[in-house]
Amino acid sequence: MKRILLFVHFNKYNDLSKHVLYTLEKMSPLFERTIFISNSLFPDSKRELINPYITDFIQRENKGFDFAAWRDGLEFVGYEQLKIYDSLTLMNDTCFGPLYEMLPYYKKYEEQHTDFWGMTNHRSYQESKHHYFEEHIQSYYKVFSKKVLQSETFKNFWQDIKDFTEVQEVIDHYEIQSTSAFLKAGFQYESILDTRELDNSRLLHPDFSYYAPDVILQNQVPFIKVKAFQGIENAGIVKYMVDYIEKYTDYPVELLLSHLSTVGYPDQNYMLARKYLKPVAKIKVTKKIAVHLHVFYIELLSDFLDAFNNFHFEYDLYLTTNTKDKEDQIRKILSERDTEAVLVRTPNYGRDLIPFLSLKNMLRRYDIVGHFHTKRSLEAAFFAGESWRTELMDMLIAPADNIIYSFERDSNLGIVIADIPTFFRFNRVVNPDSENQMIAPLMNDLWERMEMKKKVNFHEISTFTMSYGTFFWSKVDTLEPLFNVQIMEKEIPQEPLPQNTILHAIERILVYMAWDKDYDFRISKNKEELTPFIDNRTLNQRFYITPENVKNIRLKFVAKLLVKKMIRFVKYRTYKLLGRDLTSFM
For range 288-314, the mean pLDDT: 97
* From 119-133, 419-433, 468-482, 522-536, the region with the lowest mean pLDDT: 119-133
For range 475-488, the mean pLDDT: 96
Quick: pLDDT tens for 4-32.
999 999 999 999 999 999 999 999 999 99
* From 191-195, 490-494, 507-511, the region with the lowest mean pLDDT: 490-494
Quick: pLDDT tens for 443-452.
999 999 999 9
Give whole-number Cα distances, 237 to 96, 269, 460, 508, in Å. Answer: 17, 10, 20, 27
Q: Are 373 and 350 in contact (CB under 8 A)?
A: no
Residue 432 or residue 257, greater confidence: 257
Residue 377 has pLDDT above 70, yes or no: no
Residue 570 has pLDDT above 80, yes or no: no
The model carries a pTM of 0.87
Identify the pLDDT of residue 133: 75
The H or E element spanning position 520 is strand 520-524
CA dist., res. 6 & res. 8, Å (int): 7
Residue 281 has pLDDT above 80, yes or no: yes
Residues 6+ apart with CB under 8 A from 466: 417, 507, 508, 510, 511
Quick: pLDDT tens for 526-542.
999 999 999 988 888 76
**Backbone dihedral angles phi then psi of residue 416, each to the nearest 5 degrees:** -125, 125
**Backbone dihedral angles phi then psi of residue 445, each to the nearest 5 degrees:** -65, -45
Identify the pLDDT of residue 286: 97
Quick: pLDDT tens for 408-418.
999 999 999 99
Which of 276, 484, 493, 468 lies closest to 373 in space, CA to CA? 468
Write out the E strands in 299-398: 316-321, 342-345, 368-373
Q: Confidence band (pLDDT; 50, 70, 90) for 579?
A: low
Residue 289 or residue 548, greater confidence: 289
Mean pLDDT of the chain: 92
Q: Are 301 and 330 in contact (CB under 8 A)?
A: yes
Phi-psi region of 445 (alpha: psi -120 to 50; beta: other; left: phi over 0): alpha
Q: What is the DSSP letter of 572?
A: H
HEC string for 365-387: CCCEEEEEECCCCCCCCHHHHHH
